[in-house]
A and B are shown apart, each in its own frame.
Chain A
């Protein structure tokens, strides 16, 4: 491999970015099976129809578990190779050739892909198992598992493709699965609307991603990661910046980042396992994957990188503020997801200094947020699908397992040492401050502030759900009989809770993840973790303040059964900080006016001309019609006149 002359500072990183994948042999040639197994299972369940109802869920669980086992085998094989050659491609077939256009069905497995593979299949398997219990009484359970398997296959394709076209197909596939699953209970109008909304908002991002891919092709003549990233240094600076910003647009929609965040809250209309897998642990992190994977592009363009940090910083505060005001437990968690992904975006926007921290937070978040969602699902399961936290309270004793697992996830997300979130979130806040300058101070402060808000809103969720007096009754029309969920549901919650406790320490201690991802994403200059730096103490401080504030508001005082009147900020936060209102006034209304204008032009202009011409012809002919008087003598006269004319003409011609 020859490299262009590079400054010593860049050399290590860029060399890593253009790491050429070796052709796969042995176990790595089975990479494609990771995608094929769940895809095949989805096909069987969808095509098999009602015949597969009886055992469909078992097949649906077996597929991601099989992929997970294969993923673990691949992971250990990858670990066994030297770190400089941990990249293997798996060529299946050439999909299409047209002139210079060449798209291959190629898989590539490397350190970054395998992290995602293990997250998707591992957490995915747990959530599939949980779904057996959660969806036990749903008539559409087989269809549910088919869509979930479809999602797992598409998501694996997204992270395993070795070119942007394969990534795009996976990207669209997860979008489709997300649409199908949000609208799973399609008899509810709200679910239908939410599914359409998610799909439409994602279309905006997909537009950005597709234009970015086209731009790459016209600029670099290839779609493959290796070619594009190898040539990106020689590309025109403005073009590369445009590609980076368009990729960011795609990432914004998929990862629910401002300004395309509005769909995530409504996406909670889907069944809770869907929220846990797709809208918390995996699909919404695809944007972070895209940015991290395209790191050579963002290394070249500081403009694009600045865009990523701004989006991340704005979203992490935005989501945290919304989370503080939501009474719907799933929507509060959705806002929290938005905010946590904001942290990841901020991290991958900070460059090689924090790529690894972003991925680390993504992995730990996958555990604790999936655990929290499954906990929320377990609470809903016991509370007749009630989602309003103002009707919960005092569930601690009745659902001890749910309480403990949810509590461990809670401790992880607020960043309480030594739980998972503390290791990874602190690192991001630390890296933001270490960026230096005014921008570093602003980004760091935003992240620090949102950490306090995170502690506040998660404590609020915790207190309103599990503590305080009972705001429900076992009698009357709204009677509920809270009970612990079956072990098929609590089992996965326990496993995820273990991940929430130990995941962070496992990844960060001894620089495990940094060493693993370093050759691909670059090593942070300051890789070693400092648990008690100045910023670490500040983070702990705001966390304690957040928890204390929430305790004062929701434990010392009674929680009213209906949301009380509040200041304008809270009212706005209850309405998703006016995200929908903004979209409606800026895009929907002008769009409606534009369509009305076009309809007017069509009716009056285009139709007017056509109809006018028809009326003209009709009017003229109705006048001509009057010549048919019915008087035979007038016909005879015209015949006579005609004959005279003919004869005259004949005579003149013969003249």
Chain B
């Protein structure tokens, strides 16, 4: 099977993730979409590694996973904190920091 298909899948997942971030109001869903984009990226990196026959992409993917894990911890904490004060997980409700 040609590795190119993995790249197509990666692009589709990334697009779904990006659209989810832009269109969904629920913070948890938007957050999951961010994770989806990260994982799409990981898929692309691993594919590139496979195509080029080097390990660079895979190593990079590990880095992304570690960062994503850390990000999830912080991000979820923020979302929980916002929900506690506002009784809402909608990203559009947290709009006080503006002009």
Q: How many residues of B contact A (CB 8 A)?
A: 14
Across the interface, B96 reaches (CB within 8 A) one of A625, A626, A630, namely A630
Q: Is B43 an interface residue (CB 8 A)?
A: no
Nearest Cβ distance between residue A489 and chain B, in whole angstroms?
83
Q: What total of A-B pairs shows CB separation below 8 Å?
A: 31
A619-655 to B contact mask, C-beta < 8 Å, 1/0: 0000001101111110011001000000000000000
Main secondary structure of the interface of A (DSSP, over half): helix
Please tell me if B74 contacts chain A, counting CB pairs below 8 Å.
Answer: no
Complex interface: stretch among B2-10, B59-67, B87-95 = B87-95
Residues of chain A contacted by B22 (CB below 8 angstroms):
633, 636-637, 640
* Contact A640–B18 (Cβ < 8 Å): yes
Interface residues of A in 498-520 (CB under 8 A from B): none
Centre residue among A626, A628, A633, A640 by max chain B CB count within 10 A: A633
| CB neighbours of B25 from chain A (8 A) | 633
B21–A631 CB distance below 8 A: no
Residue of A630, A633, A636, A640 touching B98 (CB-CB under 8 A) = A630
Q: Is the interface of B mostly helix, strand, loop or mixed?
A: loop
Chain B residues in 8 Å Cβ range of A640: 18, 22
A639 → chain B closest CB, angstroms: 10
Complexed CA–CA distance, A633 and B98 (Å): 13
- Inter-chain contact A633/B21, CB cutoff 8 Å: yes
Interface set, chain B 21-64, CB cutoff 8 A to A: 21-23, 25, 30
Closest chain-A Cβ to B35's Cβ sits at a distance in Å of: 15
* Known contacts A637-B22, A640-B18, A640-B22; is-contact A632 B99 (Cβ 8 Å): no
**Residue pair A633, B91 in contact (C-beta under 8 Å):** yes
Tell me which residues across on chain A come within 8 A of B23, comparing CB atoms: 633
Contact of B21 with A630 in the complex, beta carbons under 8 Å: no
Write out the residue numbers on chain A whose beta carbons fall within 8 Å of the beta carbon of B73: none
- Shortest CB–CB separation between residue B92 and chain A, in angstroms? 6
Does any Cβ of A come within 8 Å of B97's Cβ? yes
Q: A631, B99: Cβ atoms under 8 Å? A: no
Query: What are 10 A-B contacts with C-beta separation under 8 Å?
Result: A626-B99, A628-B98, A629-B99, A630-B95, A630-B98, A633-B25, A633-B91, A636-B22, A637-B22, A640-B22
Identify the 6 closest CB pairs spanning chains A and B, nearest first. Answer: A630-B98, A630-B95, A625-B99, A628-B99, A632-B91, A628-B98
Q: A631-B95, A632-B94, A640-B18 are in contact. List 19 more A-B contacts (CB 8 A).
A: A625-B99, A628-B98, A629-B95, A629-B98, A629-B99, A630-B95, A631-B91, A631-B92, A632-B91, A632-B92, A632-B95, A633-B21, A633-B25, A633-B30, A633-B92, A636-B21, A636-B22, A637-B22, A640-B22
